[in-house]
Amino acid sequence: MNPKIRILIVDDEKRFVENASKLLRRSGFEVSTAFDGYQALEAVKADDGIDVVVLDVKMPGLDGIATLKEIKQLAPGLEVIMLTGHASVDSGTQAIRCGAFDYLMKPCDIENLIEKIREAHQVEQIKRRPLLWPRNQVKDVILYSFIELFTEDPLVKALAVFNREASKTAVEEVFIQDRAGIFQGIVTKKDLIDAVEKTPPHRRVTWNDLCDNPGLLPDKRLEAVLRSVRPLTAMPEESLPDAAARMIARQVRCMPVIDKGKVIGIVRLRDILQHIEHETA
């Protein structure tokens, strides 16, 4: 590992800090430590080349979430991995919403921590030095040939898209636009099932029932069932690591790509990860 990845461990449990530091140094990392949020902020302000911060959620004084927010103000590109042994998964998801790269539950396996640190460092490197990755934008993996769904299309067309993509991306929602290419909303598998169950004779159906017998769908347009909510979207020039991180955080496998307000294609998480692996090999 050359140059060494530089880690800042922040935790008020000194025994944990000492043990984790020892194991990480043995694995080739360069490690510095802080025992509260204030010390962590001073280290970040010193700008001594920290690559990744490993930060405990539960600390006296300035807690982990507050420290994370301050770090992101001081160094937006610095990746932070949160550790939580005192709260539920909610504290981890809250940390991700505040800008954390990811979180692990304490006590965590050192190999899991090392893997997460390396992932965070890869993203941090690309953000700091994008020229290390010559093709790193959403437009490099965008699918322009996706099946377009319009508000006036029949429900059965959305069912066909779900069936076509099921073995590839296990999509749970499809994106609906108008003829001008402006995004209008989404339709989910549940929306199609509900459309059948709300239509006389109000039969109960499963997704498999619907796939086997598309004729169960009522003769309605997608505009009758679409949800006017904005999904996660990407811009063509967005970096692939940023797009992947947002998709993982929101647990989506694909999202529409918007340019000048119009849907121009979709991007799939699978394609992004494969591209990252290929370009950095």
CATH number at residue 171: 3.10.580.10
Instruction: Please tell me whether residues 115 and 158 are part of one structural domain.
Output: no
Count of domains observed in the chain: 2
Asked whether 217 and 195 are in contact (CB, 8 A), the reply is yes
Q: Is residue 275 part of a domain?
A: yes
C-alpha to C-alpha distance for 242 and 220, rounded to whole angstroms: 38
- My answer on whether 153 and 275 are in the same domain is yes
Nearest-angstrom CA–CA distance, 166 and 176: 18
245 in the same domain as 120: no
Average pLDDT over residues 245-249: 81
Greater confidence (270 vs 124) lies with 270
What's the CA gap between 70 and 40, in Å, rounded?
10
Residue 198 inside a domain? The answer is: yes
Whether the model pTM is above 0.95: no
203 and 94 share a domain?
Answer: no
**Are both 122 and 197 inside the same structural domain?**
no
The pLDDT, as a whole number, for residue 93 is 67
34 and 67 co-located in one domain:
yes
Confidence label for 166 from pLDDT (cuts 50, 70 and 90):
very low
1 in a structural domain: no
Residue 234 confidence (pLDDT): 92
What whole-number distance in Å separates Cα of residue 131 and Cα of residue 190?
43
State pLDDT tens for residues 194-207. 999 999 988 888 88
**Domain range spanning residue 153?**
138-280
Q: Is 161 or 10 the better-scoring residue by pLDDT?
A: 10
Percentage above 70 pLDDT, the chain:
85
Q: Are residues 178 and 203 located together in one domain of the fold?
A: yes
| pLDDT for 165 beyond 60 | no
The confidence score (pLDDT) of residue 277 equals: 60
pLDDT in the model for residue 69: 94
Do 271 and 204 share a structural domain? yes
113 shares a domain with 175: no
* Domain annotation covers residue 20: yes
- 218 assigned to some structural domain: yes
Please calculate the CA angle 14-15-17 and round it to the nearest 5 degrees.
65
Q: Are residues 179 and 252 in the same domain?
A: yes
Residues 145 and 276 in one domain: yes
Last residue in a domain, options 94, 128, 162: 128
- How far is the C-alpha of 277 from the C-alpha of 172, rounded, in Å? 26
Pick from 224, 257, 221: nearest CA to 238? 257
Average pLDDT of the segment spanning 83-107? 74
> Residue 133 domain-assigned?
no
